[in-house]
Amino acid sequence: MANYNKVILVGNLTRDPQMSYLPSQTPVVEFGLAVNRRWRGADNQQREDVCFIDCRAFGKQAETINQYLKKGRQLLVEGRLQLDSWEGKDGVKRSKHRVVVENFQFIGPAGPGGPGARAPAAEREPAEPAHEEPAEPPAPEGGQDDIPF
């Protein structure tokens, strides 16, 4: 039987990202995401439901999220569900689902200097392409095309 664990969410940060480091010095950032769902009830009244989701990102992604995102900023998150289990101080076993971020994208406007403002272009690292295109072969020497037909 095949298994598939993929989550795609678009929502707003419920709090500023919290950065920490693993013992291996790998950056880890945790943040909350609020995802709204709107629908019309049987009485034709507009309804809204909010789902609050805890998210965690590692490495360079964690550093970027921590640097550029603030509470209220909209974000698209792609990742996988993970179940964390632990025993509380009171001895009761607890568990919680969270999304481990594998990819993300900034969404919505970021005002200058406001929450989620981007660094000036000179300070940003160049963005990596989503997928690499094959390089075009070099032109033959002499400037003539060697077309075999």
pLDDT along the chain (149 residues), means of 10: 94 96 96 94 91 96 96 96 93 94 89 46 40 44 51
CB 38 within 8 A of CB 65: no
What's the CATH number of domain 7-106, 2.40.50.140, 3.40.30.10, 3.40.50.300, 1.25.40.10? 2.40.50.140
Domain boundaries, the chain: 7-106
3-state SS of the chain? Answer: CCCCCCEEEEEEECCCCEEEECCCCCEEEEEEEEEEEEEECCCCCEEEEEEEEEEEEEHHHHHHHHHHCCCCCEEEEEEEEEEEEEECCCCCEEEEEEEEEEEEEECCCCCCCCCCCCCCCCCCCCCCCCCCCCCCCCCCCCCCCCCCC
pLDDT digits (tens, 9 = 90+) for 94-104: 999 999 999 99
> Per-residue pLDDT tens for 50-74?
999 999 999 999 999 999 999 999 9
